Amino acid sequence: MSSGGLTIGDAAARAGLPVKTVRYYDEAGLVRPGRGANGYRVYGETEVHKLAFLRRARGLGFSIEACRALLSLYEDHGRASADVRRLALDRVAQIDDKLAELQELRQVLVELVDACQGDTRPDCPILDRLSGEEVP
């Protein structure tokens, strides 16, 4: 009777992750498989679920450390949903910071692009700006 143990390749396939990533998560202590007599990693259903959980969390941009926290809340059936919510809100705040930064950069770049003729002549407000000329 098979114990349901999967090799890393099968586990990775079921979780939808590259084998390298699964190995990395092991090394990082996120999902620790057992080991067979031959030294192979052995993944059970629980581990496969955790791997898939990690795939989705990473897909939302949570860092490995945030994933570690999420995973431990996932396994803690006595958790407070507030703790999970806080992690998600932190991630939203991170995203908002990045969005603001990128929007600002985009604004500046678009203005420069619009000011540039973009023809065969060398005159270029973009380079002028990068070389520090005042553009009042």
By CB under 7 A, name the one of 31, 41, 50, 70 that touches DNA: 41
Q: Which stretch binds DNA (CB under 7 A): 36-44, 80-88, 98-106, 108-116?
A: 36-44
Query: Quick one: what does residue 9 bind among a copy of itself, DNA, none, with the CB cut-off 5 to 8 Å set by partner type?
Result: DNA
* Size, binding site for DNA by CB under 7 A: 19
CA 43 from chain center: how many Å?
A: 23
CB-CB contact of 100 with 93 (8 Å):
no
Closest separation between CB of residue 83 and DNA, Å? 19
- Any contact of residue 64 with a copy of itself (CB under 8 A)? no
Write the CB contacts of 51 (distance below 8 Å, at least 6 apart in sequence): 11, 12, 14, 15, 17, 22, 25, 31, 43
- Any contact of residue 1 with DNA (CB under 7 A)? no
- Any contact of residue 71 with DNA (CB under 7 A)? no
Q: Which stretch binds DNA (CB under 7 A): 58-66, 75-83, 89-97, 113-121?
A: 58-66
CA 86 from chain center: how many Å?
A: 18
- Contacts to a copy of itself by CB under 8 A: 49, 52-53, 56-57, 60-61, 70, 73-74, 76-82, 84-86, 88-89, 91-92, 95-96, 98-99, 102-103, 105-106, 108-110, 112-113, 116-124, 126-127, 129-132
